[in-house]
């Protein structure tokens, strides 16, 4: 159970909030690259609670600017893209990809007024068929080269899920809640088996669960009595790896979350390198009406992800964690909250949070399924090559304070 203040601290991600400042140290995908075209070179995007416009200028440079024009607030979604940037439809204030104002056409000739205008702009990069943004302090880190994003021995496919009408952290808590698979998904993920009863589902298949911290997040392990082991790492702060897929949850604002899946499919012609244009699938809505909130909508529950959306949304747009009753099976959730709080404090104290790649030497492929824990690494005295550096003692102390 959390206090109201702790719940707010975890969930609020707008500018200036502690969790918002933490999340602004990471890159987030904000659009499928093919969504910007010659005919439609602008797209409205809300991310981390900020209203922005993604656009491609006539030199095919892509950037993200604050939606509301610095002059009198008209949306740049309707701006005209030019050689040098985007011009507001209303009075033509022209912004380049850095947010510099290049012209204010209705001002007297030679006034230089435009030189006094600076518009908010964020870095954009195209990677694995998506546009990504970084909204934090400069210099921007690298987009991590997680193995399934950069492996060349296969291809990738993107699936865009319906907008989740709930806070992003609800989906992340689910990623360290392995017990739900055998119950919630008993009729969708178990290949037609019949459970002993529908209350227990397939809970009796499981020997135990294990969670431990790894350099880029939390390893979650599910041990089956028959000897198999599942490993689904949570890549901090907003990604679940499941099999060769990554589920990327992007906080749109406090109560809405975009979800992109990037599937890696090994084999084929093997020319994938993170620069390709993957196939894209847009999933139809999971609920009817699609924009309704519980209880004024009804979810379909015959698909694994639709079941997940149901359990992520029905606790409310921001789950009230002052009323929960955590149990033994929730210890992964407790761990995630503790890491989140620790990383918030680290950023407040000027440290980089886990998983942020600043050094060129660290900008190499990262095996997200590496099973070695931080404790094991420490015992060996060295983080293995290619891994994000393990926490320093000072950083760990922040977590204990
Ligand atoms: S409101 Fe944009 S130029 Fe006037
Ligand atoms: Fe699930």
The pair phi, psi for residue 365, each rounded to 5°, is -60, 135
Q: Which numbered ligand comes closest to the C-alpha of 176?
A: 2
Determine the average pLDDT of the residues in 39-57: 97
Atom nearest to 70 CA in ligand 1: 2
160 and 76 assigned to the same domain:
no
Query: Would you say residue 18 lies in a domain?
Result: no
Residues 187 and 113 in one domain: no
Judgement on whether residues 195 and 96 belong to the same structural domain of the protein: no
Query: Is 50 exceeded by the pLDDT of residue 387?
Result: no
The whole-number average pLDDT for the span 332-338 is 98
Residue nearest to atom 3 of ligand 1 (CA): 91
Q: Give the model's pLDDT for residue 27.
A: 98
> Which ligand is in closest contact with the Cα of 173?
2
Q: Which pLDDT tens digit goes with each residue over 86-95?
A: 999 999 999 9
Helix (H, G, I), strand (E, B) or coil at 123: strand
Domain range for 199 is: 147-400
Q: Verify that 99 and 186 share a domain, yes or no.
A: no
Same domain? 207 vs 86:
no
pLDDT tens string 155-165: 999 999 999 99
**Nearest atom (ligand 1) to Cα of 76:** 2
Question: Any idea of the CA torsion for 371, 273, 98, 255, to the nearest 10 degrees?
Answer: -50
Residues 96 and 195 grouped into a single domain: no
**C-alpha–C-alpha distance, residues 274 and 144, integer Å:** 11
179 & 98 share domain: no
DSSP state of 139: S
* Pair (306, 181) in one structural domain: yes
3-state secondary structure 296-307: CCEECCCCHHHH
The answer as to whether 351 is a domain residue is yes
| Nearest-angstrom CA–CA distance, 158 and 245 | 10
pTM for this entry: 0.92
The CA–CA distances, whole Å, from 211 to 54, 181, 184, 200, 371 equal 38, 16, 20, 22, 11
Residues with CB under 5 A from ligand 2 (ion): 308
Q: Is 20 contained in some domain?
A: no
Binned at pLDDT 50, 70 and 90, residue 399 comes out as: low
385 confidence band (pLDDT: 50, 70, 90): very low
> Is residue 114 within 6 Å of ligand 1 at its C-beta?
no
Rounded CA-CA distance 243/239 in Å is 13
Sheet of strand 80-81: strand arrangement: 80-81, 86-87, 94-95, 101-103
Indicate if 152 and 297 belong to the same structural domain.
yes
- 29: which strand partners? 132
Q: Could you tell me the CATH number of the domain that includes residue 260?
A: 3.90.380
Q: Is pLDDT of 380 > 90?
A: no
- The number of domains in the chain is 2
Domain boundary among 81, 101, 134: 134
Residue where one domain finishes, among candidates 75, 109, 134? 134
The pLDDT tens digits for 165-211 are 999 999 999 999 999 999 999 999 988 899 999 999 999 999 999 99
Residue 246: inside a domain: yes
Residue 193 in domain: yes
Cβ(390)–Cβ(383) below 8 Å:
yes
Report residue 244 as tokens: 């060769």
Domain membership of residue 217 (yes or no) is yes
CATH label of the domain that carries residue 127: 2.102.10.10
Ligand 1 in contact with 69 (CB < 6 A)?
yes
Q: Examine residue 396 and state whether it is found in any structural domain, yes or no.
A: yes
Mark whether 102 and 174 lie in a shared domain: no
Mutation pick for ligand 1 pocket among 42, 67, 70, 72 (CB with most ligand atoms within 8 Å): 72
Residues 375 and 245 both lie in one domain: yes
Whole-number pLDDT of residue 390: 56
- Structure confidence at residue 372 (pLDDT): 57
CB 303 within 8 A of CB 188: yes
Determine the pLDDT at residue 49: 98
Ligand 1 atom closest to Cα of residue 69: 2
Question: 108, 134, 160: which is the final residue of a domain?
Answer: 134
Co-location of 381 and 304 in the same domain: yes
Residue 271 has a pLDDT of 57
- Assess if residue 182 is contained within a domain: yes
Q: What is the pLDDT of residues 266-308, one digit of tens each?
A: 986 655 555 678 999 999 999 999 999 999 999 999 999 999 9
Check residue 276 and give its pLDDT.
72
């Amino acid at each position: 159970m959390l206090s109201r203040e702790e719940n707010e601290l975890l969930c609020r991600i707008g500018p200036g909030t502690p969790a918002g400042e933490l999340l602004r140290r990471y890159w987030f995908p904000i659009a499928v690259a093919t969504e910007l075209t010659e005919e439609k070179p602008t797209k409205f995007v809300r991310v981390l609670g900020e209203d922005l416009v993604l656009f491609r200028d006539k030199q095919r440079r892509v950037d993200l600017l604050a939606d509301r024009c610095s002059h009198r607030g008209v949306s740049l979604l309707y701006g005209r893209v030019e050689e040098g940037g985007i011009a507001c439809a209303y009075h033509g204030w022209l912004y380049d990809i850095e947010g510099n104002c290049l012209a204010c056409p209705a001002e007297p000739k030679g006034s230089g007024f435009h030189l006094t205008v600076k518009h908010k702009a964020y870095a954009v990069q195209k990677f694995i068929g998506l546009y990504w943004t970084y909204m934090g302090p400069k210099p921007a880190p690298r987009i991590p080269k997680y193995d399934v994003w950069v492996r060349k021995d296969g291809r990738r496919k993107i699936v865009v899920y319906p907008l989740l009408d709930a806070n992003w952290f609800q989906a992340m808590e689910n990623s360290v809640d392995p017990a739900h698979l055998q119950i919630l998904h008993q009729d969708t993920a178990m290949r037609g088996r019949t459970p002993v009863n529908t209350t227990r589902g397939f809970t009796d298949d499981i020997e135990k669960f294990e969670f431990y911290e790894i350099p880029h997040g939390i390893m979650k392990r599910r041990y089956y009595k028959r000897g198999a082991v599942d490993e689904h790492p949570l890549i901090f702060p907003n990604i679940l790896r499941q099999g060769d897929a990554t589920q990327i949850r992007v906080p749109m604002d406090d109560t809405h979350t975009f979800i992109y899946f990037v599937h890696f499919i090994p084999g084929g012609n093997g020319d994938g390198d993170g620069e390709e244009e993957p196939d894209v699938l847009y999933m139809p809505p999971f609920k009817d009406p699609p924009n309704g909130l519980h209880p004024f909508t009804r979810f379909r529950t015959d698909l694994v992800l639709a079941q997940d959306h149901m359990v992520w949304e029905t606790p409310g747009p921001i789950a009230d964690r002052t009323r929960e009753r955590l149990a033994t099976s929730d210890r992964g959730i407790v761990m995630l909250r503790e890491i989140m709080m620790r990383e918030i404090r680290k950023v407040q104290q000027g440290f980089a949070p886990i998983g942020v790649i600043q050094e060129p030497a660290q900008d190499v492929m990262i095996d997200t399924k590496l099973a070695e824990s931080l404790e094991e690494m420490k015992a060996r005295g060295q983080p293995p090559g290619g891994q994000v550096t393990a926490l320093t003692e000072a950083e760990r102390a922040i977590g204990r304070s």
